[in-house]
């Protein structure tokens, strides 16, 4: 749940990457998001090495949507990861960070012509075709490209997964990919195979996020490979590259026990081998796309406590200086988090409180129920496992300033994204006079 370097120093202050969170709050203010470089690198390396150990022709592409800054891409690039992007904006940041274009794949269920052109001009390694319109647009673009555009087809394998409805993507009724059942995926293969300038190298699926059970992913691999076998038979298309996407869950609270990267990669490698064996297919290149599992545990959100409002017999609201503008997940998915008092080793009678945000919305509650020692105004509250899908989904609701991001390592803190200012809030705002 916490970054691997987390400790309490002799004054009882929480410390990450060798830096006291009290010192970070003093230097950068709160709310602030703290990323531990060691955890980030370790997660990236663990996934890459674990997969390579059991399936040598493989790659790990980080899903940029989980959290994207230039420095993070630079670190993950150094660790040998590729990058998955879903928009022109993510692509631009990935390129700016120096990620080699060949290592970038463009996803999206409604890519614009401009985004596809941007990807083709940059020379990205792969475009994942989601729908008929992608094929229409790519076919035209390919006419002006000197080399074929490499594509994978995203299929919808019709796999049910155990996760929140809003982050489940493999069911028959989904806006992502083309369903195998009913023949739409097959029709796309027929078209792609007959389109000059497009090189269909294989198939992709992503069945959901924050997954704890490997079974859904195995079913998805089975469906991908069965589909690949039948497309080889019908259209002579060889499956040279396969991706079951990402979705590997992480611990948010004590007692959460997600499979380890080794569990995931073993299960996936076995599933690919077994299915290819069954269908007498050569082993394809394998790409996995973890997002949350790389950055989630590396990030800690640090807030200051302000008002503590006790409603006798009802509940105590401990309000912090952030909330749904920097972390929408509790409001959107009923996501559950834990927290600790960061500025002191707290003692005293523990009791249940709610951690409320500061925004004008009753639903702006970061933690519905948490048992904590007495918390008072001025305390610092740290929320672990805040590295994924918090800042990447942040907003300026109530004209909130997006918090800064600090990278810590070996006792040093480095600002990698500054706090927004009031000027930033009006940078795109055009007055009448």
Binding window for ligand LLP (CB under 6 A); candidates: 34-42, 45-53, 213-221, 288-296: 288-296
Length of the chain: 433
Is 360 one of the catalytic residues?
Answer: yes
Q: Which residue lies nearer to ligand LLP by CB, 14 or 405?
A: 405
Beta-sheet pairing, 198-204 with 149-156: parallel
Among 292, 358, 402, 417, binds ligand LLP (CB under 6 A): 292
Binding flag, residue 130, ligand LLP (CB under 6 A): no
Nearest distance from residue 267's CB to ligand LLP, in Å? 15
Binding window for ligand LLP (CB under 6 A); candidates: 116-124, 202-210, 218-226, 354-362: 202-210
Q: Which residue lies nearer to ligand LLP by CB, 66 or 269?
A: 66
* DSSP β-bridge partners for residue 381: 303, 341
Binding window for ligand LLP (CB under 6 A); candidates: 67-75, 184-192, 242-250, 307-315: 242-250
Nearest CA to 298 out of 93, 27, 47, 25 is that of 47
Nearest distance from residue 97's CB to ligand LLP, in Å? 18
User: Phi and psi dihedrals of 165, rounded to 5?
Assistant: -50, -40
User: Phi and psi dihedrals of 119, rounded to 5?
Assistant: -65, -45
Sign of CA dihedral 224, 225, 228, 229: negative
Q: For residues 214 and 224, what is the distance between their CA atoms, to the nearest angstrom?
A: 15
Q: For residues 84 and 64, what is the distance between their CA atoms, to the nearest angstrom?
A: 6
Q: Two tokens at 118? A: 């941007």
Binding window for ligand LLP (CB under 6 A); candidates: 73-81, 215-223, 246-254, 345-353: 246-254
Extended strands (E) in 260-363: 285-288, 299-311, 315-320, 340-341, 351-356
User: Phi and psi dihedrals of 159, rounded to 5?
Assistant: -110, 130
Work out the angle at residue 51's Cα, subtended by the Cα atoms of residues 189 and 257, and round it to the nearest 5 degrees. 105
Binding flag, residue 94, ligand LLP (CB under 6 A): no
Binding flag, residue 244, ligand LLP (CB under 6 A): no
Interface with ligand LLP: number of residues (CB under 6 A): 21
Q: Which residue lies nearer to ligand LLP by CB, 246 or 384?
A: 246
Site for ligand LLP in 343-382 (CB under 6 A): none
The catalytically annotated residue of 77, 145, 360, 390 is 360
Binding flag, residue 417, ligand LLP (CB under 6 A): no
Binding flag, residue 167, ligand LLP (CB under 6 A): yes
User: Three-state SS for 163?
Assistant: coil
How many CB atoms are located within 10 Å of the residue 131 CB?
19
Binding flag, residue 389, ligand LLP (CB under 6 A): yes
Q: Two tokens at 324? A: 């749904």
Nearest distance from residue 218's CB to ligand LLP, in Å? 16
Residues that are catalytic: 360
Binding site for ligand LLP (CB under 6 A): 63, 65-66, 84, 107, 167, 206, 209-210, 245-248, 289-293, 329, 333, 389
């Amino acid at each position: 749940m916490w970054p691997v370097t987390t400790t309490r120093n002799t004054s009882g202050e929480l410390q990450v990457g060798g830096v006291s969170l009290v010192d970070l709050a003093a230097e950068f203010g709160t709310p602030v998001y703290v990323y531990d470089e060691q955890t980030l690198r370790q997660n990236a390396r663990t996934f890459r090495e674990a997969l390579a150990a059991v399936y040598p022709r493989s790659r790990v592409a980080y899903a940029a949507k989980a959290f994207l800054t230039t420095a993070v891409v630079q670190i993950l690039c150094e660790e040998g990861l590729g990058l998955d992007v879903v928009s022109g904006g993510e692509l631009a940041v990935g390129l700016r960070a120096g990620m080699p274009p060949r290592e970038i794949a463009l996803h999206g269920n409604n890519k614009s012509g401009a985004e596809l052109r941007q990807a083709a001009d940059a020379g990205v390694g792969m475009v994942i075709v989601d729908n008929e319109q992608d094929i229409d647009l790519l076919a035209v673009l390919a006419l002006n490209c000197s080399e074929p555009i490499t594509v994978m087809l995203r299929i919808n394998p019709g796999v049910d997964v155990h996760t929140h409805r809003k982050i489940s993507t493999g069911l028959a009724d989904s806006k992502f990919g083309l369903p195998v059942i009913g023949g739409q995926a097959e029709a796309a293969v027929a078209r792609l195979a007959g389109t000059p300038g497009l090189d269909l190298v294989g198939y992709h699926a992503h069945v959901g996020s924050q997954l704890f059970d490997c079974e859904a992913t195995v079913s998805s691999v089975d469906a991908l490979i069965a589909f690949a076998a039948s497309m080889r038979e019908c259209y002579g298309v060889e499956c040279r590259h396969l991706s079951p996407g990402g979705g590997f869950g992480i611990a948010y609270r004590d007692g959460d026990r997600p499979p380890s990267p080794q569990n995931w990669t073993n299960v996936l490698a076995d599933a690919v081998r077994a299915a290819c064996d069954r269908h007498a297919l050569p082993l394809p290149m394998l790409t996995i796309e973890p997002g949350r599992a790389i950055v989630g545990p590396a990030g800690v959100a640090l807030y200051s406590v302000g008002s503590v409002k006790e409603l006798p017999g009802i509940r105590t609201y401990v309000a912090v200086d952030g909330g749904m503008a920097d972390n929408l997940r509790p409001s959107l998915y009923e996501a559950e988090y834990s927290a600790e008092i960061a500025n002191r080793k707290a003692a005293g009678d523990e009791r249940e409180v709610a951690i409320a945000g500061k925004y004008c919305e009753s639903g702006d509650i970061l933690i519905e129920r948490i048992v904590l020692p007495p918390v008072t105004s001025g305390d610092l509250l740290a929320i672990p496992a805040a590295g994924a899908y918090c800042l990447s989904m942040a907003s300026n609701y109530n004209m909130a300033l997006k918090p800064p991001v600090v990278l810590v390592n070996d006792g040093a803190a480095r600002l990698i994204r500054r706090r927004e200012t009031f000027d930033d809030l009006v940078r795109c705002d055009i007055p009448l006079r």
